[in-house]
Amino acid sequence: MMRYKLTIAYDGTKFYGFQIQPKDRTVQGELEKSLKIMTKGIDVRVHGSGRTDSGVHALGQVIHYDYPGELSEKAMFKAMNTLLPKDLVVQKVEVADSYFHSRFSAKEKIYIYRLYNGEVRNPFTRTYASWHPYPLDIDRLREALTYIEGRHDFTSFASIKDPIENKIRTIYEARVDYDSEKQEFVFLFRGNGFLYNMIRILMGTLIEIGDRRKEPEEMQRLLKLKDRKQAGPTASPLGLYLKNVIYD
Amino acid sequence: MMRYKLTIAYDGTKFYGFQIQPKDRTVQGELEKSLKIMTKGIDVRVHGSGRTDSGVHALGQVIHYDYPGELSEKAMFKAMNTLLPKDLVVQKVEVADSYFHSRFSAKEKIYIYRLYNGEVRNPFTRTYASWHPYPLDIDRLREALTYIEGRHDFTSFASIKDPIENKIRTIYEARVDYDSEKQEFVFLFRGNGFLYNMIRILMGTLIEIGDRRKEPEEMQRLLKLKDRKQAGPTASPLGLYLKNVIYD
């Protein structure tokens, strides 16, 4: 029995999220299916650094599992990439010690959010970026993002379905750049953890600030209010990417 | 009756090419279907600047048609984009004079070819770039591309199914850049016209030159030979994009 840590990437378009479901196609489901073929029928439970919703992509998700056998990192890499479907790939395999846990050992996570801002819809990014066809003011977005950075209670930006009691998280970095060639705003969020739907609710609020429906300072007020109903809508999952999970 | 010139973009992944087919989903088929809804049943024939194969994408294809009615450019733009499927978009509508022909009036075309060169397959570019996981020497590629530029008989690089007799074309520009972040080579070809499969056969040959199976000078010899069988294989359509069609 050996513990493996894998870095994986997936195009979330055709997955019903990360977490295994009885009927729908999920990332965890596909990983466990491939492992079961490798073990000739023994079930292997896969643990992820966190769930991603239906439609959310991953550039560097981290998972771990205990495998009943001792394969080299190279052999595990090759076997998994041979068995996995084309929209899910293993980028790196490492043998981990038994204390390693993809979720509990994680120190930081980085997400990015792609927001296409062109006037005409883009057939190439329809599932890879969300679309807002109205002008957005980058200075207003940047001001709002400064209020997110730091240690805050993010109750206003968590799904009311999130059962976690402690809603305090630290955001080390929250920034946005504009790619003029692609007509896209690319947001980056780096923090010690994120609540359920937190980035999508932050994005829904940021879009309202960027197009002048709300003031940038509203972000400060919302953090104090601790009321999900006061924040903006939950933005589309299609622009969201889990970019990296960072361990010690 | 008015003639309209449209600039369109499409994700070629789910189209069986541009040209209308009795059963399969094509770009021309979808355009004509939308127009027939607008005319309440009158068939409108769509003419493209050229066909694109199954899987080939377009960033700026140009089409024209004679429409039995007089819609403003804005109204035509809006109606078409409402009716067309999500992987096909109208970027621009212009009323054209009756001498304009999307194919015969075209002076230049620009194609790009995206070649992903990472060692691990990329779930995000599986239908948007072709994949060659072995080292490619950019200096060798660039030397080979210099031999393509100019006025040449491209018989060696045309499908034997191409019925066109005159196989002389002028390539004004043939270059390649490497995008290190994406691990992609991006080729650009600008010319007064291209034969059937010409870029894909050039690409199949360039890949053999880039990874040292053939010498760059082979490109010169192949142009002189005028024999399709001597050139490289026809590369995948998935990396090919019709970028622009240029008119006077």
Instruction: Give the number of beta-carbon pairs within 8 Å between A and B.
Output: 46
Q: Is the pLDDT of residue A86 over 90?
A: yes
Phi/psi of residue B107, nearest 5 degrees = -100, -40
- ipTM of the prediction: 0.89
What percentage of chain B reaches a pLDDT higher than 90? 97
DSSP code of residue A29: H
Catalytic residue check, B53: yes
Per-chain mean pLDDT for chain A:
97
Cβ contacts of A126 on chain B, cutoff 8 Å: 11, 86-87
pLDDT at B164: 86
Strands A57-67 and A240-246, bridge-based pairing: parallel
Per-chain mean pLDDT for chain B:
97
In terms of phi and psi (left: phi > 0; alpha: psi -120 to 50; beta: otherwise), the region of A82 is alpha
Confidence of residue B3 (pLDDT cuts 50, 70, 90): very high
DSSP code of residue A160: T
**Is A34 in contact with A83 (CB distance < 8 Å)?**
yes
Q: B155: how many CB neighbours lie within 10 A of its CB?
A: 18
Strands in B69-167 per DSSP E: 88-96, 108-116, 130-131, 150-153
DSSP code of residue A119: S
From the list A238, A240, A143, the residue with the least C-alpha distance to A187 is A240
Q: pLDDT for B55-80, tens place per residue? A: 999 999 999 999 999 999 999 999 99
Q: In B, residues 28-57, which contact A (CB 8 Å cutoff)?
A: 57
DSSP character string of B32-57:
HHHHHHHTTS-----EESS---TT-E
Q: How many CA atoms lie within 13 A of A170 on its CB side?
A: 5
Q: pLDDT for B155-213, tens place per residue? A: 999 998 888 889 999 999 999 999 999 999 999 999 999 999 999 999 999 999 999 99
**∠ CA(B6), CA(B10), CA(B15), 5° rounding?**
120
pLDDT at A118: 96
pLDDT at B162: 81
Strands in chain A per DSSP E: 2-10, 47-48, 57-67, 88-96, 108-116, 130-131, 150-153, 168-179, 184-191, 240-246
**Contact between chains at A122 and B9 (C-beta distance less than 8 A):** yes
Cα–Cα dist B71/B79, whole Å: 10
**∠ CA(A26), CA(A114), CA(B111), 5° rounding?**
100
- Mean local confidence (pLDDT), B110-137: 97
Give the chain A residue whose CA is nearest to the CA of B241: A124
pLDDT at A148: 97
- Mean local confidence (pLDDT), A90-108: 97
3-class state of residue B179 by DSSP: strand
**A2-96 adopts what CATH topology?**
Alpha-Beta Plaits (3.30.70)
Please report the sign of the dihedral spanned by the C-alpha atoms of residue A46, residue A49, residue A50, residue A56: negative
pLDDT at A80: 98
Distance to chain B for A80, nearest Cα, Å: 12
Query: Annotated catalytic residue: which of A11, A53, A87, A211?
Result: A53
Q: Which residues pair with B112 in a beta bridge?
A: B188, B241
- Mean local confidence (pLDDT), B44-58: 96
Token reading at B178: 């490497």
Confidence of residue A90 (pLDDT cuts 50, 70, 90): very high
Q: Is the pLDDT of residue A32 over 90?
A: yes
Q: Is the pLDDT of residue A163 over 90?
A: no
**∠ CA(B118), CA(B190), CA(B202), 5° rounding?**
55
Give me the count of residues in chain A. Answer: 248
- Mean local confidence (pLDDT), A133-137: 97
**Contact between chains at B124 and A9 (C-beta distance less than 8 A):** yes
Does A111 count as an annotated binding residue? yes
Same fold across B2-96 and B108-246: yes
Confidence of residue A95 (pLDDT cuts 50, 70, 90): very high
Cα–Cα dist A88/A61, whole Å: 11
From the list B120, B175, B178, B119, the residue with the least C-alpha distance to B149 is B175
Q: Which residues pair with B108 in a beta bridge?
A: B246
CA A8 remoteness from chain centre: 12
Cβ contacts of B122 on chain A, cutoff 8 Å: 9, 89
Token reading at B205: 């040959």
- Mean local confidence (pLDDT), B12-36: 97
Q: Is the pLDDT of residue A162 over 90?
A: no
Query: Which member of A87, A88, A121 has the closest CB to residue B89?
Result: A121
Both ends of chain B: CA-CA distance in Å? Answer: 24
Cα–Cα dist A110/A190, whole Å: 4
pLDDT at A76: 98
- Mean local confidence (pLDDT), B230-236: 96
Interchain CB contact of A127 with B (< 8 Å): no
Domain locations along chain A: 2-96, 108-246
Q: B206: how many CB neighbours lie within 10 A of its CB?
A: 28
pLDDT at B163: 84
CATH second-level architecture of B108-246? 2-Layer Sandwich (3.30)
CA A27 remoteness from chain centre: 13
Q: pLDDT for B10-22, tens place per residue? A: 999 999 999 999 9
pLDDT at A164: 85
Least confident of A171-185, B110-124, B153-167, B183-197: B153-167
Q: Which residues of A142-172 are buried (b: 16+ CB within 10 A; e: fewer)?
A: eebbebbbeebebbbbbeeeeeeeebebebe
**Is A185 in contact with A138 (CB distance < 8 Å)?**
yes
Cβ contacts of A91 on chain B, cutoff 8 Å: 120
